Amino acid sequence: MAKLIAIAHQKGGVGKSTLALNLAYRFSKEVKTALTDTDPQGSTMQLRDIVEGIDILEYEGTSSLKTKPYDVIFIDTPPYLIENMIPLFLASDFVLIPTKAGVTDIMAIRATIELVKEAQKKKPELKAGIVLNMVKPRANITSEAKKELEVFDLPILAEIRDRVVFNNTFLSGGISTGSDQQAIQELEQLTKEILNLL
Ligand SMILES: Nc1ncnc2c1ncn2[C@@H]1O[C@H](COP(=O)(O)OP(=O)(O)O)[C@@H](O)[C@H]1O
Ligand SMILES: [Mg+2]
């Protein structure tokens, strides 16, 4: 059965779709990987005819996804809390919550985390992790953000910095095919951590 990794945060623009695609490319080097989006109008589905080297599946619910011949399927979600978020989390093996380090982003993360916690009560084996994305090279802001996030008692995974490579290298292979070695390194680290937790 395929393991499902849902990527969620009710706020738009925190990097859900960007990380979904780049992680899917990176994971595909290790295990058989696909990508989907609960929102048929979402950016991941719009990329379907453009990107190469990764299978982007139509979303037909989690039960059908689990039977697909993949080891891992990333599920991108829209930037609002869909009402069936809890069933999605309950069907998932891992929920990845990307966030920016800004005050409003951290405030907005609470709603998503509460849903994850609610799902974990019913399904204790559900794993989750927060990833600070688009981190600016002002470390004090990030450490403050981390302090705010620690109260939620979820693993805070490898952080991804704000890098132009994410805006211009995605159509075939993601940032791993680009020349930004530090970005590649960060993605490697994040991949390793998620694989370890899965
Ligand atoms: N680490 C990063 N560094 C620079 N830009 C990023 C990074 N992650 C995402 N972006 C950019 O931020 C914007 C929003 O990302 P997106 O993945 O669409 O967010 P979401 O899916 O959460 O709405 C996009 O323009 C994307 O290219
Ligand atoms: Mg998106």
CA atoms lying within 13 Å on the CB side of residue 177:
13
Q: Is the CB of residue 99 less than 8 Å from the CB of residue 135?
A: no
pLDDT at residue number 150: 92
Domain that residue 115 falls in = 3-197
Domain count, the chain: 1
pLDDT in tens, 95-131: 999 999 888 999 899 999 999 999 999 999 999 999 9
Q: Terminal CA-to-CA distance of the chain, rounded, Å?
A: 13
Domain CATH number, residue 35: 3.40.50.300
Alpha-carbon span 124 to 20, nearest angstrom: 24
Q: Is the CB of residue 77 less than 8 Å from the CB of residue 38?
A: yes
- Give the mean pLDDT of 153-170: 89
Q: CA of 179: how far to CAs of 28, 40, 163, 169, 194, in Å?
A: 19, 32, 12, 10, 23
pLDDT at residue number 137: 80
Ligand at minimal distance from the CA of 133 is 1
Please report, rounded to a whole number, the percentage of residues in the chain having pLDDT higher than 70: 97
Ligand 1 atom at minimum distance from 167 CA: 27
Q: How many CB atoms lie within 10 A of CB 171?
A: 13
CA 155–ligand 2 middle distance (angstroms): 22
> pTM of the predicted model, to two decimals?
0.96
Pocket of ligand 1 (CB under 6 A): 12-18, 43, 79, 133-134, 160, 162-163, 166-167
